[in-house]
Structure 1
Amino acid sequence: MTRFLLLATLLATPALAQDVTRHRIPNSDFPIAAAVEVPAGLTMVHLSGAVPPRADREASATSPTAWGGDTRAQTAGVLRSIEASLRRLDLTMGDVVRMQVFLVGDPARGGRMDFDGFMEAYREHFGTPAQPNLPVRSVMQVAGLVNPGWLVEIEVSAVRGR
């Protein structure tokens, strides 16, 4: 009887809760995982790079203003777009296990990427009480993206349970 109850409990528990292991960075509260283990049998879903949605149709399409403005605002738009794409696939931000972030140097910051602005928007989606799951993540400054008005592009990979 005990084996039956254990099996019934495992089947009733969402696969992600029982299978994906997220290792925190030791002695750190920085909101990324040091490592994520995804066991065999779960489906990896890779989303193409997402860029900011058009925010101002009056502004030139090659201006950061057209895409939300600064890095923080553009990141917020990109993350909302990613969240909507995940939702269409019956996934959530909590299912994201890997993220690659490409930041263009902000002209208003002397050509340096605005990591703090990126982090402000990122922290609204990851490491919160409502969504504590953290992905592994890389952030890099790139020379440019396809549209010179874009300051941010983000790729994510998520895991779908059984």
Structure 2
Amino acid sequence: MTEIHVRPATPADHDAIGALSVAAYRGDGQTRQDHPYEPHLRDVAARAAGGEVLVAVDEATGAVLGSVTFVLPGSPLAELATDGEAEFRMLAVSPQAQGRGVGEALARACLRRAGELGCRSVVICVRDFAADARRLYARMGFERAPELDWSPLPEVTLLGLRYPLA
């Protein structure tokens, strides 16, 4: 099994991250062609300007396997985080790399980063039908936070989760 390395994304990674993000979101039914969220998924430069984009790569091949955007309150990308919290968004794993622990590696990197910054918790949202993601986050110790639930579009329900840091 190849090793997964998580590191800050570079501009050279942006095209691959944008493409895999769209493929992942389409693959699990979160978006479809011409969906209004896809331009945001593709615009990795804008994500990098508003937060920290992390990328998971296959150490043997250097292939980009997944990415996530880590943000703090006040970022134009922050949707849930308040003072003392961090948030991560747009976690996406290439459909070809799913089931290899890439998503968990990216989420754990965000938890470590939040801890380094002295945050008291990490908040995220997940689609209501994303059973695999919800299982992963529950296994990692995220707790349901119904007060964070919201809906950016009529057909989209997002469930809030919180990870308390020590």
Larger helix share, 1 or 2 = 2
Larger radius of gyration: 1
TM-score, normalization by structure 2? 0.30
- With a CA cutoff of 8 Å and minimum separation of 6, indicate the structure with the bigger relative contact order: 1
